[in-house]
Amino acid sequence: MHSLEIRSRARQQYLAGSTVAEVARHLGLPYPTVRHWCKDRAEPKQPGSQVRCFRCRSVVDNPTDPASYVYLLGLYLGDGHLVTTAHVPVLVQQVQKQGCVGVQSYGVHWPCLFPQHGPGKKHERQILLADWQREIVERHPGDFLRGLFHSDGWRGSNRITVRGKRYVYPRYMFINESADIMGLCQWALDLLGIAWRMNRRNSLSVARREAVAALDRHVGPKS
């Protein structure tokens, strides 16, 4: 008896454009089993993946939900990783802390949506946004920042002592080894007029009261 998760993954890959045989080979399952899950169900198969990908249509388009796209772009540039060695590309949010849950999504056209993908670690190669990506981020910088801070950032309390008196105030921190990704975070903050400063080579701080309040309106807590 196969789990619901395996059945769901098979359906997702099939609906993303893979054939039954390709799904069966990728998951290591018998062809008749996968065929029953994918073809003997009432739901019709969605249109071809090339039609559904807004970058691969005959007339190149923008995402139907641009705010969600740039949020996902921010997550990808932070902790995300695109695995293309698998038969169907997998978008993964890397997990490095105990108790966290990894999230992954299969899709043939993930490389189309994230042209920043390439061999090696992101901080060891150049990361530039395509012109169409920059245009979307310029319209939705807050959603882009939310993705960045939800992946490689945090909101916490900073404690300092001045002349024997202790002060506690909230601040945001964004930490990333890539100078290019750090520059994109700075650029998006500038678009919103939010003050920031670099407290280390790889660490950005938003600590002024009005700046923290402004960022709160866009970022909010991690879900």
More confident residue, 43 or 120: 120
Mean pLDDT of 183-209: 96
121-150 pLDDT, tens per residue? 888 899 999 999 999 999 999 999 999 999
Q: Is the pLDDT of residue 49 over 70?
A: no
Q: How much is the mean pLDDT over the chain?
A: 83
Mean pLDDT of 29-54: 67
- Token pair listed for 32: 């008749």
Question: Is-contact 93 102, C-beta < 8 A?
Answer: yes
* Phi, psi (degrees; rounded to nearest 5) at 130: -70, 160
Question: Is-contact 144 88, C-beta < 8 A?
Answer: no
**Superfamily covering domain 143-216:** Homing endonucleases (3.10.28.10)
Among 123, 100, 110, which Cα is nearest to 73's?
A: 110
* Phi, psi (degrees; rounded to nearest 5) at 168: -125, 125
- For 1-46, which CATH class? mainly alpha
pLDDT at 221: 65
Question: Is-contact 88 18, C-beta < 8 A?
Answer: yes
CA distances from 127 to 29, 43, 68, 120, 138 (A): 38, 40, 20, 12, 17
User: Which residues are 162's β-sheet partners?
Assistant: 165
- Across 22-36, 43-57, 61-75, 113-127, least confident range: 43-57
C-alpha distance across the termini of the chain, in Å: 33
Distance between CA atoms of 73 and 69, rounded to whole angstroms?
6
Annotated domain spans of the chain: 1-46, 143-216
Question: Is-contact 56 48, C-beta < 8 A?
Answer: no
Distance between CA atoms of 68 and 24, rounded to whole angstroms?
31
pLDDT at 44: 45
Mean pLDDT of 95-110: 69
Distance between CA atoms of 173 and 2, rounded to whole angstroms?
43
Return all residues near 19 (Cβ < 8 A) that are at least 6 apart: none
How many CA atoms does the CB half-sphere of 32 hold within 13 Å? 0
pLDDT at 110: 81
